[in-house]
Amino acid sequence: MTLITLGLIIIIVALIATRTVPYIREHRSGIIAGAIIIFFVLLSFASIVQVEPGMVGVKKLFGKVSNNILESGLNFINPLAKVVMFDIRTENYTMSGVHDEGTVQADDAIRVLSADGLEVIVDLTVLYKVIPAEAPRILREIGTDYRNVLVRPICRTGIRDNAVYYDAVSLYSTKREEFQDRIFSAIESNFRDRGLMLEQLLVRNLTLPESVKAAIESKINAEQEAQKMTFVLQKERQEAERKRVEAQGIADYQKILTSTITDKLLQYEMIKAISSSPNSKLIIMTNEKGLPIMVDTK
């Protein structure tokens, strides 16, 4: 539209100049022809629109939106029409409690109430994209700011509506994935009805009240202590079993030794021990009949 306006201005200026400026009046036909040529050149440029990869264009003429989309590449259009571009690649919308991390540069986390009445803070990222064929309908019904008009409120409402089915501890631990899938199912249909495709929903972080976090940490510490005590008791039982086996072995050894030793063996061992002493000279012992036995160690 700008190029057409510029071409018309050039023609009007050329007509005025050929009527008011004597020198230009002499070349009136050539100047007007040149202005017309320039107008048509600009008109041809205005009739060509380049759509970048990953984008689609929607034509709008005098407030009426065309149902046909312009795909990537060069497209010929009515030079009076205006083309609105839509990005059909995957986009993300992040709501986070950390400043400068989310789409909104502030604390944009979602605060919800759980089934047990506790406040849980949720950080969320939504991956979605525009369905190309639905771009004209989005332009008519929503406009180009569909992120704030559609994506943000639907996600926040979906999380609040589904958080009430879970208590805070379950959301934080065992039911987190189930909670995420439930939100996805609730939001996906709303997105599709409005021309958007929900690709993935990520619950990035769940923040519990400090009292609940302290209770969870206390429970975890107690479970760890119980596991430690179980290990200690098992170790003590193993040590007691080892000592029992050792004592049984000693008792068995003594029993065997008692059953095999004899008086003659004791006499022999005693003679052997005494004779090995350097101070021994003469050993006097008695036999079974009471008779003395004299042993000279030399």
> How does pLDDT run across 126-159, given as a tens digit for each residue?
899 999 999 999 998 888 888 888 888 888 888 8
Helix 28-46 and helix 2-20, axial crossing angle in degrees, nearest 10: 180
Please indicate, yes or no, whether residues 121 and 194 belong to a single structural domain of this protein. yes
Model confidence pLDDT, tens digit, residues 15-64: 566 566 555 555 566 666 666 666 666 666 667 788 889 899 998 888 88
From residue 21, alpha-carbon distances to 10, 27, 29, 34, 192 in Å are 16, 10, 14, 17, 64
Say if CB 162 and CB 176 are below 8 A apart. Answer: no
In this predicted structure, which of 88-97, 114-123, 202-211 has the lowest mean pLDDT?
A: 202-211
Kindly report the CA angle at 200 between 100 and 151, in degrees rounded to 5? Answer: 60
In-domain check, residue 232: no
Exposed/middle/buried for residue 67 (C-beta within 10 Å: 0-12, 13-18, 19+): exposed
**What total of structural domains would you count in the chain?**
4
In-domain check, residue 142: yes
DSSP codes joined into one string, 221-245: HHHHHHHHHHHHHHHHHHHHHHHHH
**CA nearest neighbour of 155 among 117, 131, 135, 184:** 184
In-domain check, residue 148: yes
Please indicate, yes or no, whether residues 17 and 116 belong to a single structural domain of this protein. no
What CATH number did the domain enclosing 128 receive? 3.30.479.30
CB atoms within 10 A of CB 59: 21
In this prediction the pTM is 0.58
Please indicate, yes or no, whether residues 76 and 148 belong to a single structural domain of this protein. no
Please indicate, yes or no, whether residues 201 and 97 belong to a single structural domain of this protein. yes
Range of the domain at 66: 53-88
Rounded-to-integer distance, Cα 233 and Cα 229, Å: 6
